[in-house]
Structure 1
């Protein structure tokens, strides 16, 4: 993943600061958060696995450090953020 601001390589999936998967109307949405310490901003990759259609992805950002920090902290409160069927408060409000 490249930083959405400076384009520096932030590494692959193992370098994600946080990831969360949720299910909406049969589609799975996975958000992966990558932090660039050079720019002090977040880059977010959104992957959508459509139940009846093609999968897609997009990259959003740069996201302000304070906003990204808050979202990552919320994700880390979930016992299993990659479980799209998780019933925790974080997943229910995501």
Structure 2
């Protein structure tokens, strides 16, 4: 996906370089990358879910808008990971945010 838009006001929240946090997790043989984007105008989160299916195509879904406080703790936790792109990481963030 080229850019994420705010689901409330339509503002451009960026390309991937402007996400506030991300983490890659292992979900039943597939990789899921969660990326959090924040709209400074509306004070809401948008979340991009990139699913890399082991046996099949990849797909992207975007969820939100969510109130600022709804995801603040998870975003702060994801930011503590030393290797957010490593789905095999065993840090506390990966342990808690993995399904």
How many matched pairs? 94
Whose strand fraction is larger, Structure 1's or Structure 2's? 2
Question: In the TM superposition, what is the alpha-carbon distance from 1:52 to its structure 2 partner?
Answer: 0.4
More displaced 10-residue stretch of structure 1: 42-51 or 59-68? 59-68
Distance between the aligned counterparts of 2:27 and 2:15, measured in 1? 26
Report the TM-score, using the length of structure 2 for normalisation. 0.90
Stretches of structure 2 lacking an aligned partner (at least 5 in a row): none
**2:46 pairs with 1:79:** no
Residue 92 (structure 1) aligns with: 95
**2:75 pairs with 1:69:** no
Question: In the TM superposition, what is the alpha-carbon distance from 1:55 to its structure 2 partner?
Answer: 0.7
Distance between the aligned counterparts of 1:35 and 1:56, measured in 2? 22
Give runs of aligned pairs for residues 1-94 of structure 1, distance below 5 A. 1-94=4-97
Distance between the aligned counterparts of 1:84 and 1:18, measured in 2? 15
Aligned-pair Cα RMSD in Å: 0.9
Runs of 4+ in 1 over 6 A off after TM superposition: none
Stretches of structure 1 lacking an aligned partner (at least 5 in a row): none
